[in-house]
Amino acid sequence: MDSFLDEQPFSEVEPVEQNVVLALVLDASKKDCVSFTVYSVLSDQKVSEIMCGRLCGIGADAGGFVEVKLGEGEEGEAKKFDYALPDAASALKHLTEVLVDQEKGGKVKDLKDVLVIGHRVAHGGESLTKSALIDAGVLDKIKAASDLAPYNNPASIMCIEAAQAVFTECPQIAVFDTSFHATMPSKAFMYAIPKGLYKEHGIRRYGFHGSSYEYVCETASKSLGLTGKLNAIIIYLGEEGEGSSACVVKDGKCIDTSMGLTPLEGLVMATRCGDVDPAMAAHLAKVKGLSVDEALTVLRKESGMKGLCGLTDLTAICAKAKEGDVDCQEACAVYVHRIRKYLGSYYLQLGGHVNAVIFTGETGVTCAALRADVCADMENMGLAIDAEKNTAADASKISEVHMASSKCQVLVIPSDQQQTIALQAVKLTNVAPTHVTKAAPLPVRPSVDVLSALPPSKLGAGQNSLRRSMSRMRTASGFMASIVKRTSIDAARRSVDAARRGSVDGNYQEKKTKCLYVLSLSGRGTVLLELGVCHRIMLKCPSKFGFFRPIANRTPKEEDTHTHLIHSVLRLNDDKKDMCGVDYDTALDLISNGHADELFNRIIEAYEKYSRGKEFVVIAGVTLPVQSMELNMAIASILQTPILFTIKYQKETDDMFQTILLNKQTLDSMPGKNDLQGVIVNRVPPADHEAFKTTFKGALASSGITLAGVTKFDEMLLSFRVNEIHTALKSSVLFGHNNLDRIEAQNFVIAAGTVEQVLSEVSAKSTPSMVLMDARRVDVLLGMLFAVQSTEVKIAGIILTGAAEIPMGIKKLLDSVPNVALPVLMVREATEPVIMKLSKLVPTVMPSSKRKIEYVENMFDEEVGDAFLSSLITKEAKEQVMTPKIFQYRIFKKARALQKHIVLPEGNDKRVVTAAAELVERGLCAVTLLGNISDVKALAVQLQLDLSKVTVIDPATSEHTQRYADLLYENRKEKGMTPEKALDLVRNDPNYYGTMMMVASEADGMVSGAVHTTADTMRPALQVIKTAPGIALVSSIFFMLLPQQVYVYGDCAINVNPNSQQLAAIAVASAQTAMSFGIKPRVAMLSYATGESNTGELITKVREATAEAKALVLLDEAMKAVPVEGPLQFDAAVDPEVALLKVKTPSQVAGRANVCIFPDLNTGNNAYKAVQQASDCIAMGPIMQGLKKP
């Protein structure tokens, strides 16, 4: 049998549908020129350039043109088409024509296929530290940062505004050159100037070329296998107009860069001076009689290489220097000196732990002479460039140019910042991808990657992170299973980024808490629906009721309004903090940084802690500011909760019906098979209510869906409490302080006419109005205050605009009005901006909103039927299926609690050393690595790992080796073991050394097999540790982490052809192992026939083994309830539909088996490999069972 650790190549696969987005990237480096690139972005983040070009001569009356590049590479032909481009909008309109015109090189079939536009923006200032969806607020912030990038930002603003006018329906994203550097610590970004200048004006170092650095960093990380751990110095040497800079990256994040407040600081550039004395601009102004702006223009446009030698093309300058041009030689020397100065500084910042020095940018990848000069004489720093490789480096792809002896790699990586912008734009925009196919592994059963179309908007890298996390639900790690028992380190390593927290015992527990996940198909505005559902369920189930929000308040300091409302109205006794999982900002950060696994695990931990002891918990769906349906379904799937859909009424009922069906299909495809309990339709117009309820109930029933309720709409629900208005406007309160929370307004009336006209308009409203008036309109103010005494006029309050404080004369008049209870607010702004603010106000519900709460409670009492509620409450809580996510979560928790000492004998393997470092870093266990100490430390340095908390022992030199050899001799002398042989084994075979550590009770378990064969790993254990008391047979199982749940397969590694007694023992041992990992076992004894459908020697063996296994479980009090059935075919064991056809008698196992016992090794070994390859799941094992120690 070949080693269970061998990596198996995937077999040929079938094509499956993959989503694609067309993204247009616009880069306005100058006001008169915009470059464009169209990319296709697949849902697996693969990017392909479709076409590119530029728009030139913008703003000129004549001479403008659109240039389209045909073909690939630097030699690609370009076609020019002359147009008058008086402004950017006209330029982009002509671009829309060219994009779809095949004769002009256009490759876009339809402009509607372009779903997102990404803009390169030089400076985001202090407030825009991440790529952002462009709205009025973001555009204002870009404009505010223009002083920091006076040549770049105005050009970008021009392009953005033009694109918004031309591509009116297309979301637009700003990707900032400064974003990548937002991770710099304050010691790197602060200037030593009065701190108030930073706080008030944002004067600090920002850095630029961020998109290029991000692309290069990701490319290098993947190339070196150091994703998230790259330590590198990146040198970006751009051509004229681009500038040059350097950046130092630690663990994949920027910790310092050469450019500062503006792109002028740092390296010497084509026309920019780089670092100079800050007083130089003032000195220039003084001695040359220049203004400050003129002096800065000299430093920006007349300095750098141009100032030193009159040229700006670095390749040409290097050539002339080689020919003996003195000015060019001096210019090159200054240029290189400045780069080396930063290189040395950054080397020290990384403490000498540098994985790579990377050259990028047009000049960086094309000018070999400059690279050679920069890296010259640095061998003592571990950096040695290879002259031949350097000269031969291909500027179009990643190239290694270092010598074999170099400790630090030297790479040449061409930058593609436009590609990065395209990816960011797709990730941050709510777009619906379209078409294309791609090869992908064929699953065991058809399943849908429901997150492949997740529109990520502010989730940043969240789309990819969530998709990866859902993939890990299918292939979730169990590294800790390998700590408790034996498994493949390599397999576990692939998902060691999994959950970091846990909350329950690993032993199986019945799921007793009933629950319901309330999921809105219409996005926001769900709090009243949640309140209504909670109200109805709590009436039926008043004791031990709970409400839980997986993702709650915006920041850790803010109280979640939904939770506060439910807690207050229903008078729950729980701590409100326990009712929330993860705060809003933390959730977005985890997803955008690629840690969706951590998000899910924090939610699991919080929910399991909160729900323990509860009888029923309502879980509120996530309402992030993007379409978050798949995130909701992922959470519901992980928590294994039944679901209630809610949806806002639409006049086009067919659209609403299709939305429900599509989401049910998505739900059905999720791991865990969450049941849809029903649908509540809300905000139905009263006039349509009865007719709609009848017809829609029938339509849903025809698709097997229950209409749980239909709630009517009342405009009162859209009213605002005056306190909401006061908070939104940041107003002063003149009168009515005590009534701000009590009084509600449903209309706004602008007092533009006479008192009589205003009163007439207010009186015409059947619901209370808020009256806006200029603070100088004393007549209207007094008129309203007296009119409110009448029951005919419904006034909720008054807003005085355009005044910082009330005039003394008006105040005296108001003081004369007795008992002013009406809220009177005052704001500085004029009426028009106040109206704009009010138009964006969204109604909320607070515990004091008694009318709204009573209306909702009464409506749900009337419209949500008792039968439906009774079915939710009386239905037995669904038995919890052990999904991969829950499985790994509980293993991690148990490991942290137990804190066992694990020995890893294969310290010469990179994977094992990496795993050891991560295990101790995550606090999962204590680790001892066996191997040559110098070699292990060298690996740690190479991999940038911290092994300070890992014990490293060399068996060849260890002080314990002789003691362990003596112990081995004592245990094996009856079998012919000699002292000399024992010493040789312990000294030279790390598996024997590790085994003897366990025999001496100096280690709790051993994980081996990354390098050694199964036989080599097992031999010492079988010889010395031996079987546990009462166990006559050692066997093995694999945990198969399939999408729907975790299965146990046995025996797939040890026993070749067990007899019936041995097979029964394997079944019982496998069930016990399943229970120890929190799985409630249902054991299927597998054969090629089901029940009495066939006969044969093997079937007879399985039938006898089944009877013996049933007898054995009855002897163990803890296992009496474990069902064992057989013979069963595999499909009848695991597929409920097949089980219905093949198994004619009632069965606790058929269709629900999770422990599958194969009749012999040939069947078991081939079965686990076939399932692993076909489904791309992780097969964890073999895990040995029956030994005294794991």
* Alpha carbon distance 361, 415 (integer Å): 6
Amino acid, res. 691: A
**Are 527 and 518 in contact, with CB atoms under 8 Å apart?**
no
Where helices occur in 77-183 by DSSP H, the ranges are 88-100, 136-144, 153-166
CA atoms within 13 A on the CB side of 86: 1
Widest Cα–Cα separation across the chain: 115
Phi-psi region of 77 (alpha: psi -120 to 50; beta: other; left: phi over 0): beta
- Tell me which residues are annotated as active site: 177
- CB count within 10 Å of CB 200 equals 9
Residue among 785, 835, 846, 847 nearest 810 (CA) = 785
Question: CA nearest 699: which of 659, 733, 757?
Answer: 659
Displacement of CA 542 from its chain's centroid (Å): 37
Q: Could you give the residue ranges of the DSSP H alpha helices within 612-652?
A: 629-639
At position 670, the amino acid (one-letter code) is M
What gap in Å lies between CA 731 and CA 826, rounded to an integer?
5
Geometric angle at alpha carbon 264, from 260 and 268, rounded to 5°: 110
| Residue 254 Cα distances to 228, 293, 372, 427, 660, angstroms | 12, 31, 25, 21, 45
Residue partners of 1056: CB distance under 8 A and separation at least 6: 1160, 1161, 1162
Say how many residues make up the chain.
1190
- Report yes or no: 154 and 27 within 8 Å, Cβ to Cβ: no
User: Which residues pair with residue 335 across a beta bridge?
Assistant: none
SS (H, E, C) 570-617: CCCCCCHHHHEEECHHHHHHHHHCCCHHHHHHHHHHHHHHHHCCCCEE
Distances (CA, A) of 584 to 74, 551, 591, 1031: 46, 6, 11, 52
In this structure, are strands 514-520 and 643-648 parallel, antiparallel, or unpaired? parallel
d(CA 469, CA 340): 42
Which residues make Cβ contacts (< 8 Å) with residue 164, sequence separation at least 6?
Answer: 134, 172
- Cα-Cα-Cα-Cα torsion 1139, 1145, 1147, 1152, nearest 10 degrees, comes to 0
Residue 1122, helix vs strand vs coil: coil
Hunting for tokens 């808020």 — which residue is that? 770
One-letter amino acid for residue 921 of the chain: E
Q: Which residues pair with 520 in a beta bridge?
A: 646
Structure letter (DSSP) for residue 692: H
pLDDT in tens, 917-969: 888 887 889 999 999 999 898 888 877 788 989 999 999 999 999 999 999 99
d(CA 102, CA 621) in angstroms, rounded, equals: 47
Give CA–CA dist 84/314, Å, rounded: 34
Give the β-pairing of 244-250 and 232-237. antiparallel
What is the predicted pLDDT for the residue at 439?
Answer: 27
Q: Taking Cα atoms as reference points, which of 365, 357, 311, 358 lies closest to residue 335? A: 311
* Lookup: tokens for 1048: 């146990």
Asked, as a colleague might, if the bond just before 1182 is cis with ω within 30 of 0, I would say yes
Q: What is the DSSP letter of 9?
A: P
DSSP letter string, 242-261: T-EEEEEEETTEEEEES--S
User: Roughly how many angstroms between the first and final C-alpha of the chain, as a whole number?
Assistant: 22
Residue 326 has a CB neighbour count (10 Å cut-off) of: 10
Q: What is the 3-state secondary structure (H, E, C) of 810-842?
A: HHHHHHCCCCCCCCEEECCCCHHHHHHHHHCCC
* Cross-sheet strand order for the sheet of 114-121: 77-82, 65-70, 47-56, 33-42, 20-30, 114-121, 172-176, 132-133
Q: HEC profile for 884-902?
A: HHHHHHHHHHHHHHHCCEE
> Which pLDDT does position 1104 carry in this prediction?
92
| Of 523, 533, 631, 527, the residue nearest 582 (C-alpha) | 631
| Whole-number pLDDT of residue 77 | 75
Helices 292-301 & 280-288 angle (0-180, nearest 10): 110
Question: Could you report the per-residue pLDDT of 843-887, keeping only the tens digit for each?
Answer: 777 777 777 887 788 888 788 877 777 777 766 655 666 777 667
Q: In which element (H, E) is residue 50 found?
A: strand 47-56
- Predicted confidence at residue 814, as pLDDT, reads 67
> In this structure, what token pair is assigned to residue 594?
């690629």
Alpha carbon distance 796, 739 (integer Å):
10
Pairwise CA distance, residues 1036 & 948, whole Å: 34
Mapping DSSP to helix (H, G, I), strand (E, B) and coil, where does residue 1021 land? helix
pLDDT at residue 72 in the model: 54
Measure the CA angle with vertex 915, ends 913 and 918; round to 5°. 110
Q: Which residues of 436-466 are buried (b: 16+ CB within 10 A; e: fewer)?
A: eeeebebbbeeeebbbbbbbbbbbbbbbbbb
Q: pTM of the prediction?
A: 0.48
Low-confidence ranges of the chain (pLDDT < 50): 1-19, 44, 73-74, 430-511, 626-627
Tell me how far apart the alpha carbons of residues 517 and 521 are, in angstroms, rounded to a whole number. 12
Nearest to 478 by CA among 890, 1095, 47: 890
- Partnered with residue 357 across adjacent β-strands are 233, 410
Specify the pLDDT at position 1019: 87
Look at residue 221 and give its three-state secondary structure. helix
Reduce the DSSP state of residue 208 to 3 states and report it: coil
Q: What angle do CA 106, 108, 109 make, to 5 degrees?
A: 115
What is the model's pLDDT at position 71? Answer: 59
Q: Which residues contact 809 (CB under 8 A, 6 or more apart)?
A: 778
CB atoms within 10 A of CB 1001: 9
Quickly list H helices, 267-313.
280-288, 292-301, 304-309
